[in-house]
Structure 1
Amino acid sequence: MTVTPGTPALHSLTFRLSYADTDPAGILYYGAWFPWMERMQSEWFYLNGLRQDQLLERHGFWSVTCHTECDYLVPVGLFDEIRIELRLGRVGGGSFDMVHQMVRTEDEVVVARALITLVTVSSDGSATPIPDVLREHLDRWAGASAAS
């Protein structure tokens, strides 16, 4: 789950950690990254015309998370400002990876890296090849990353 240096982010979101993100010691609770990553992915798909609440109705598929991993590199705490950067990772026949990098803005230190693997499924919930409408977006995103 490495991020190639110089690869531009497809999307980024900056926020300040709040009390709800931390444990009683004021350090980021390890599970707090996952809602932020989901928010980032949902917004990116939405901004690209792929509303997750309409995928099944409009395109006959939806995406399901089938794998997650996160490396916690540096502790962060209450009121640290964080930028999450979203990049496209591996794209297969029926699944693809979204790579997240979390950066503390004060010193530009990468504090965590995560990967979420999404699989496309049909209306009955069975795995299906990535539909053309999504494949076109993934190819365009991959092309933008390769061009840099």
Structure 2
Amino acid sequence: MQTDSAQAPIPLCPVHEHTQRLSYADTDPAGILYYATWFPRMEALQTEWLLLNGFRQDTLLERFGWWTVSRATHCDYLQAARLFDEITVELRVGEVGNCSVRLDFQMWRHNDHALVATASNWLVTVSPEQKAIRLPENFRTFLESRAA
């Protein structure tokens, strides 16, 4: 496991990942990845992983009576990523709390195996009225079985 003083230990195996080549739309005029580009990639990976495991975001409320919202996000930019770099974004389940779960991300560049960014997104389960609720048992069981 890797550790960082600002983050909890990160397990070795991701629960889901996606590889994509950076395009012109991802970069600034100097050809360096625009900092906010990571967030849509993380959200897409998270959404796909939940969908593939029976937690489709647009049907959570009608099927289970709850849904998730992002409470906070954080990203550490470790190295520049550039136009046409091939990047793999990995997702891991971090800390599972009473009402929330931290999802951890790592972004790796293929050509030199460099870790270019790390990030976390805290999801909270909420009621239809947008009030935080305890993680429902089916969701908690799913998350804990995949956590560090």
Matched, 1:89 2:87: no
Offset of residue 81 of structure 1:
0.2
Aligned length: 142
Tell me which residue corresponds to 2:26: 21
- 2:40 match: 35
Give 1:3 shift.
4.7
CA distance in 2 between partners of 1:3 and 1:13 (Å): 21
1:72 to 65, 77, 83: 77
The residue that corresponds to 2:110 in the other structure is 105
1:3 & 1:19 partners in 2: Cα distance? Answer: 34
Equivalent-residue separation in structure 2 for 1:37 and 1:135 (angstroms)? 21
1:111-126 matched pairs, under 5 angstroms: 111-126=116-131
Helix, strand or coil: the match of 2:146? helix
Cα gap change, 1:2/1:84 in structure 2, threshold over 3 Å: closer, same or farther?
A: farther
CA RMSD of aligned residues (A): 1.0
2:27 partner amino acid: T
- 1:63 aligns to what? 68
For residue 2 of structure 1, report the CA deviation from its aligned partner. 4.9
Q: Where does the alignment leave 5 or more consecutive residues of structure 2 unmatched?
A: 1-6
Cα deviation code 1:52-108 (max 9, x no counterpart): 000000001100000010000000110000000100111100011000000001111
Cα distance between partner residues in 2 of 1:35 and 1:2: 23
Q: Which amino acid aligns with 1:67?
A: A
Name the % identity: 51
Q: How far did residue 11 of structure 1 move?
A: 0.6
CA distance in 1, matches of 2:9, 2:73: 16
Residue deviations 1:37-60, cap 9 Å, x none? 000000000010110000000001
Match of 2:3 in 1: none
For 1:74 and 1:133, how far apart are their aligned partners in 2? Answer: 38
**Uncovered stretches (5+) of structure 1, i.e. residues with no partner:** none
- SS of the aligned residue for 2:12 comes to coil
**Cα 1:26–1:3, aligned 2, differ >3 Å: closer, same or farther?**
farther
> CA, structure 1 residues 129+34, in 2 after alignment: closer, same or farther (shift >3 Å)?
same
Q: CA deviation at 1:136?
A: 1.4
Whether the 8 Å CA contact 2:96–2:140 is kept in 1: the answer is: no
Give TM-score, length-normalised by structure 2: 0.93
What is the distance in 2 between the residues matched to 1:74 and 1:82? 12
